[in-house]
């Protein structure tokens, strides 16, 4: 039974009701201002109607009572209960607002009282108590207060360090802890192996649009992460590849030039509440990859202003941020040279693997990221063994292609019916170092498209195993507008003319007259016996919010004069008249 994040979910549900431990440690020595609040996750749960506040707000810094916990869990998991049942197991809940919920959970075997006659509905619950109830409600067997933490950690429902400490030390659970766990649980599985979010849709608790919109408000949608969230919006019928790193860097550049809800939405999707910290993380990553010698991992960023479409200039602070944190170049182009210069930059930064990103200069500003990767296998495939074989395509067709083969020890494992093998890349010229950047290609095979592959890799345990591996050598390119996937993930305002706010990107009086008009993504990959070479480019394009002027119709279906002139000196090279179709 795979309860990993589902547990997270209920965990979130806060406060499981197990007999209350009166000796629970309190975090009295920590001011609530110092406790990291789960504001992003709270937004998700508020949108779904799971988190409800009072006239004082959502009060994430407060403890959760045992009764509140059950209400939270019921809303999260979609548990229904009979109101006004008349049953009353505990004497202290007869007139309590949560009486029916408590009775429902008690009859289901999820909770106990503090005695045979009392439940203590208004007491707070500790971390271990909550986890015990959560796991029990998910169908786990033999859960105790002693093993609750280890089991929850193993199932990866404890991901935030502060919440880990809360459970490990059996502190009272804060609403913030519960919210964080609950948001992650929505992406987990129920005891029958079904994704909770899908189960809630099937049961009519939410529509698919409601659940997708809320859950993808952020990659914090806990452990799922940006890559898994974005991957869920790509069709699996054909080949595709995208670079989460490239897309995130491009989004981060947009975030630095935006404000208001436009900025807030991007930050939620990036999974950060502090853009300065995120900028520093990206800078450190860029520098780390630059230091790699045998493995080639190059990232490049640039921002472009089209002087033909606007008189605006990039804000000085925006340029400084892009230069300092993203090592980005700021350049000015016009309608005549924009396509050539931007595509030349793309071609250079991807070593010729992607020759361009645009074919028209119809933008005010373009924010471009490029990523290039080249890595040699730690153990190469023997080219003499490569030969034709049959590949069984997803649509049922069979195709012949060249397959590479090798047998040896490599990291291998199986999880949730998915087979996983890792092919490691060389770290140094001698192929002996265990230091430096550790990069590997993971091959995952299951029934159909593998859901949440990154989360699955985090959960799977791979061990050195003798494997006879056969896989195709391949090369393909992929190109897609990623505007719709980003909108589905929650980046919406910045694409809407009435809501977009790119006021930190430009200087001038019309800074709020711009929006993102499109986001384009192109990738390339080649895998052969010796190495892997891959590249990606992401372009974010800004334009005017106003609708384009109605075009003046010019239909040359009557005789006309034409002139071919050298505009640099006024010399007329050719002049003529077109008056009849055939002459």
pLDDT in tens, 172-182: 989 888 887 77
The pLDDT value recorded for residue 32 is 38
The pLDDT value recorded for residue 70 is 86
Q: For residues 11 and 73, what is the distance between their CA atoms, to the nearest angstrom? A: 8
Mean pLDDT value across the chain: 82
Residue 532 CB neighbour total at 10 angstroms: 17
The pLDDT value recorded for residue 215 is 63
pLDDT digits (tens, 9 = 90+) for 40-90: 778 788 888 888 877 777 888 889 899 888 888 888 888 777 776 677 889
The pLDDT value recorded for residue 11 is 30
The pLDDT value recorded for residue 74 is 84
Q: Which residues of 211-223 are buried (b: 16+ CB within 10 A; e: fewer)?
A: bbbbbbbbbbbbb
pLDDT digits (tens, 9 = 90+) for 388-447: 999 988 778 888 999 999 999 999 999 888 899 999 999 865 555 555 578 898 999 888
Per-residue tokens: 532:
């892997």
Q: Of 29-38, 328-337, 453-462, 511-520, where does the model show the most confidence? A: 328-337
DSSP string, 548-579: PPPPPP----S-EEEEEE-TTT--EEEEEEE-
Q: Which of 239, 292, 247 is nearest to 526 (CA)?
A: 239
Burial class (CB in 10 A: 0-12, 13-18, 19+), 572: exposed
pLDDT digits (tens, 9 = 90+) for 250-280: 999 999 999 999 999 999 899 888 999 999 9
Q: For residues 335 and 253, what is the distance between their CA atoms, to the nearest angstrom? A: 23
The pLDDT value recorded for residue 497 is 83
Q: Of 39-48, 184-193, 377-386, 493-502, where does the model show the most confidence? A: 377-386
CB 562 within 8 A of CB 538: no
The pLDDT value recorded for residue 431 is 53
**Rg of the chain on CA atoms, in Å:** 29
In this predicted structure, the answer to whether residue 31 has a pLDDT above a threshold of 60 is no
- If you average pLDDT over residues 26-44, what whole number do you get? 57
Per-residue tokens: 388:
């034709």
The pLDDT value recorded for residue 201 is 86
Q: Which of 127 and 122 is assigned the larger pLDDT?
A: 122
The pLDDT value recorded for residue 109 is 84
The half-sphere exposure of 332 on its side-chain side, counting CA atoms within 13 A, is 8
For residue 172, list its beta bridge partners: 126
Domain edges within the chain? 4-209, 229-375+476-544, 383-473
Q: State the pLDDT confidence band at 505, using cuts at 50, 70 and 90.
A: very high
Q: What angle do CA 310, 316, 321 make, to 5 degrees?
A: 115
pLDDT digits (tens, 9 = 90+) for 509-536: 555 579 999 999 999 999 999 999 999 9
Q: Which of 6, 139, 145, 160 is nearest to 73 (CA)?
A: 6
The pLDDT value recorded for residue 84 is 67
Instruction: Tell me the angle at which helices 175-185 and 161-168 cross, rounded to the nearest 10 degrees.
Output: 110
In this predicted structure, the answer to whether residue 1 has a pLDDT above a threshold of 50 is no
The pLDDT value recorded for residue 30 is 42
User: What secondary structure letter does DSSP report for 35?
Assistant: S
Residue 264 CB neighbour total at 10 angstroms: 19
Which superfamily does CATH assign the domain made up of 383-473 to? Alpha-1-antitrypsin, domain 1 (2.30.39.10)
CATH number of 229-375+476-544: 3.30.497.10
pLDDT digits (tens, 9 = 90+) for 279-323: 999 999 899 888 887 889 999 999 999 999 988 899 999 999 999
In this predicted structure, the answer to whether residue 19 has a pLDDT above a threshold of 50 is no
């Amino acid at each position: 039974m795979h309860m990993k994040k589902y547990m997270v979910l209920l965990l979130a549900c806060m406060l499981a009701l197990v007999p209350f431990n009166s000796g629970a440690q309190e975090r009295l020595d920590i001011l609530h201002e110092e406790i990291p609040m789960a504001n992003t996750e709270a937004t998700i749960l508020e949108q779904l109607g799971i988190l409800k506040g009072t006239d004082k707000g959502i009060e994430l810094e407060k403890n959760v009572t045992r009764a509140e916990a059950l209400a939270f869990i019921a809303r999260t998991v979609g548990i229904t209960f009979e109101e006004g049942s008349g049953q009353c197991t505990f004497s202290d809940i007869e007139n309590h607002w949560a009486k029916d919920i408590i009775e429902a959970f008690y009859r289901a075997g999820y909770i106990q009282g503090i005695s045979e006659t009392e439940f203590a509905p208004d007491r707070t619950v500790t971390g271990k108590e909550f986890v015990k109830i959560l796991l029990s409600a998910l169908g786990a067997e033999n859960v105790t207060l002693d093993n609750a933490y280890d089991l929850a950690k193993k199932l990866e429902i404890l991901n935030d360090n502060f919440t880990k400490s809360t459970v490990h030390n059996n502190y009272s659970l804060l609403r913030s802890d519960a919210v964080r766990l609950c948001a992650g649980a929505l992406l987990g599985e129920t005891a029958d192996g079904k994704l909770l979010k899908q189960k809630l849709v099937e049961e009519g608790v939410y529509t698919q649009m409601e659940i997708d919109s809320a859950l993808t408000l952020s990659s914090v949608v806990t452990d799922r992460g940006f890559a898994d969230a974005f991957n869920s919006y790509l069709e699996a019928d054909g080949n595709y590849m995208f670079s989460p790193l490239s897309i995130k860097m491009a989004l981060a550049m947009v975030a630095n030039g935006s404000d208001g809800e436009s900025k807030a939405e991007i930050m939620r999707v990036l999974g950060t509440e502090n853009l300065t910290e995120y900028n520093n993380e990206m800078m450190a990553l860029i520098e780390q990859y630059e230091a790699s010698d045998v493995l080639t991992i190059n990232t490049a960023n640039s921002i472009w202003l089209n002087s033909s479409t606007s008189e605006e200039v990039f804000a000085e602070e925006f340029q400084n941020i892009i230069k300092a944190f993203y090592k980005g170049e700021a350049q000015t182009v016009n309608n005549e040279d924009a396509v050539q210069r931007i595509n030349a930059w793309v071609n250079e930064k991807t070593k010729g693997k992607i020759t361009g990103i645009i074919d028209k200069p119809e933008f005010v500003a373009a924010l471009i990221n490029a990523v290039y990767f080249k890595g040699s296998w730690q153990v190469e495939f023997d080219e003499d063994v490569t030969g034709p074989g049959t590949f069984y395509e997803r649509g049922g067709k069979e195709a012949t292609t060249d397959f590479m083969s090798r047998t040896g020890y490599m990291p291998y494992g199986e999880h949730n019916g998915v087979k996983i093998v890792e092919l490691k890349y060389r770290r140094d010229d001698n192929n002996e170092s265990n230091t430096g950047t550790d990069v590997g290609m993971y091959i995952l095979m299951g029934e159909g498209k593998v859901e949440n592959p990154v989360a699955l890799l985090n959960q799977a345990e791979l061990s050195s195993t003798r494997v006879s591996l056969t896989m195709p050598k391949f090369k393909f390119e992929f190109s897609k507008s990623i505007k719709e996937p980003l909108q589905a993930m929650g980046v919406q305002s910045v694409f809407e003319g009435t809501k977009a706010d790119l006021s930190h990107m430009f200087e001038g009086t019309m800074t709020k007259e711009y929006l993102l008009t499109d986001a384009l993504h192109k990738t390339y990959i080649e895998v052969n016996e010796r190495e892997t070479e891959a590249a990606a480019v992401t372009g974010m394009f800004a334009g005017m919010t106003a609708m384009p002027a109605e075009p003046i119709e010019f239909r040359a279906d009557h005789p006309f004069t034409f002139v071919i002139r050298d505009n640099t000196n006024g010399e007329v090279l050719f002049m003529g008249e077109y008056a009849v179709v055939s002459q």
